[in-house]
Structure 1
Amino acid sequence: MIRIDTHAHVYPVKIADKASAAIGRFYDVPIRHHGSLEELIGLEEEAGVSRIVAHSVATTPAQIEHINEFILECYHQYPQRILPFAAMHPDARDLEGLVERIVEQGFLGIKLHPDFQEFQLDEPRALRMFRAIGDKLPVLIHTGDYRYDFSGPKRMAHVLDEVPELTAIGAHLGGWSQYEEAVETLAGRRMYVDTCSAVYALRPERAVEIIRAFGVENVLFGTDFPMWTPKEEVERIENLALTQEEKECIFHRNAERLLKLPS
């Protein structure tokens, strides 16, 4: 079966250990891997994953250009494997111009993490950014964290109301650690969700129910590398009581449609 990982963080070798450790401290979990490109490619190959959405998060506007250059380098090194998503920040200057450059550079989407970037998903500066993006590219957004009030499902719902043309991907089944609120608030909305850092926390039967509530056609496979091992994340989905057709949708068909990839 074709498999596409739509959620993988990657870092330059010289800062990979430091960046991965910071994620571990933020979530108070042991990080499985370093987060380098070569490690990512090797582990995804071992898991039978053929293509990978690679991204990193800009915690300040000054980081955007450097991160995007690095992600493009990853793509040029592995053009048949890497699907590049750009970094962005709501405090960046000339948001419209930045979006235009991101599109021209060949990025297939944008990655945001409001909790790391410290902005509320539906505050005015964020809505300005989402309006600048519009329907130009899909936006992968970290959603949910019971400890903070940056990216909860209700804020995501407000964004979708305010910017209906936005193609949003709510990571972690729409709300990390807030899975029930996410499905109650967001199921039936015009959006995608991904499976990473979510299925592990749910009973298998409940994971299937939530996936079907969002609509299998709206669910994308993700690993959240380097937090988790790709092979184990593949097995989590394979072990769910989903039909083969549903697994095909999650593993690759939905991503192919969303990112306009050849099937």
Structure 2
Amino acid sequence: MIIDVHTHCFDNVIAKKAISVLSKKSGIPAHTDGTVSDLIRSMDESHIDISVIQPIATKPKQTEVINRWGTSINNERIISFGTIHPEYPNWKSEIRYLASCKVKGIKFHPDYQEFFVDDPKLFPIYEEVFSHNMIALFHAGIDIGLPEPCHCTPKGLRNIVRTFKGARIIAAHMGGCGLWNEVEKYLVGEDIYFDTSYTSHALDLDFMTRIIKNHGVDQILFGTDSPWGNQDSEVEFIRSLPLNDEDKDKILGKNAIKVLGLQL
């Protein structure tokens, strides 16, 4: 089974505009049209069984609308995380709503949402998320198309991991897009999961393999960042790594089954 833990989709009404704006801002072409149906087409072509959508409320008022949409699209092949904007005033009740809907986790994007990952002001929100046994997935490292500073560094994430011991935390982009030397310094060996999204073009096989082996293959999750990553080529990248088949199967799906608590 192959599970992509890091994808993006939008409501059909706004998908075309959202893809156009984001592609222009980042300079990255999209591999789907941003709709759930086109994601499923990509999944079928890539032999991916389940994709996890990681929504982002870039404004507080978007929080409820995006979460209602996310809970409405869940099915046997699509799992949507929730989103909480830190400035959304009813964040506690919204987290409880998402937990009641059995949403698996919350996606945070410190750059788009303009907060530093280890700012203590965010700790009550994290505490509420973890109190419901939900996962926190963070965009980690540099976001292409957004100005400095980087709001989620490997060092900042280490502070979160050590503050919230035992929590399920996923750092996207192998712990920190563009900051992989800092990932090795601050995060490798810590109690945190890395997803592989948007790294195949930036990390050579030797460096990627070293991080995986030193961090532990059980802590690595397959992600593509679709539509910004091509799901088919990302699967092939994982299969090309100099690892045994069992380790590749763990990265491509077995680890995600455990982390997400899926009953298959």
**Interval of TM-score (by shorter of Structure 1 and Structure 2):** over 0.9
Which amino acid counterpart does residue 228 of structure 2 have in structure 1?
M
Q: Equivalences for 1:44-193 in 2 at 5 Å?
A: 44-75=43-74, 79-135=75-131, 136-145=133-142, 147-193=148-194
Pair 188,226 (structure 1): closer, same or farther in 2 beyond 3 Å: same
Deviations 1:23-43 (A, max 9, x none): 334433233332111100110
Q: What TM-score do the two structures reach when normalised by structure 1?
A: 0.93
- SS of 2:175 mapped into structure 1: coil
* CA displacement at 1:166 relative to structure 2: 2.6
Q: What TM-score do the two structures reach when normalised by structure 2?
A: 0.93
The unaligned stretches of length 5 or more in structure 2 are none
- SS of 2:85 mapped into structure 1: coil
Pair 18,125 (structure 1): closer, same or farther in 2 beyond 3 Å: farther
Residue of structure 2 equivalent to 1:224: 225
Residue of structure 1 equivalent to 2:13: 14
In structure 2, what is the Cα distance between the partners aligned to 1:113 and 1:85? 13
Once the two structures are aligned, what percentage of the paired residues are identical?
Answer: 30
Contact 2:108 2:136 in 1 (8 A): yes
Poorly superposed stretches of 4+, deviation over 6 Å: none
Which amino acid counterpart does residue 154 of structure 1 have in structure 2?
K
Contact 1:134 1:166 in 2 (8 A): yes
* CA displacement at 1:125 relative to structure 2: 2.3
In structure 2, what is the Cα distance between the partners aligned to 1:249 and 1:179? 22
The unaligned stretches of length 5 or more in structure 1 are none
Residue of structure 1 equivalent to 2:234: 233
* CA displacement at 1:161 relative to structure 2: 2.1
Contact 2:140 2:176 in 1 (8 A): yes
In structure 2, what is the Cα distance between the partners aligned to 1:255 and 1:128? 26
Deviations 1:74-116 (A, max 9, x none): 11xxx11011211112122243322211100121111111111
- SS of 2:61 mapped into structure 1: helix
Deviations 1:138-159 (A, max 9, x none): 1111000184220111111111
* CA displacement at 1:183 relative to structure 2: 2.1
Indicate the larger mover: 241-250 or 122-131.
Answer: 122-131
In structure 2, what is the Cα distance between the partners aligned to 1:170 and 1:22? 25
Indicate the larger mover: 60-69 or 146-155.
Answer: 146-155
* CA displacement at 1:184 relative to structure 2: 1.7
CA RMSD of aligned residues (A): 1.5
* CA displacement at 1:201 relative to structure 2: 0.4
* CA displacement at 1:195 relative to structure 2: 0.3
Pair 27,185 (structure 1): closer, same or farther in 2 beyond 3 Å: farther
Pair 36,152 (structure 1): closer, same or farther in 2 beyond 3 Å: same
Number of equivalenced pairs: 259
Indicate the larger mover: 176-185 or 24-33.
Answer: 24-33
* CA displacement at 1:227 relative to structure 2: 0.3
Pair 157,26 (structure 1): closer, same or farther in 2 beyond 3 Å: farther
- SS of 2:79 mapped into structure 1: strand
In structure 1, what is the Cα distance between the partners aligned to 2:242 and 2:42? 25
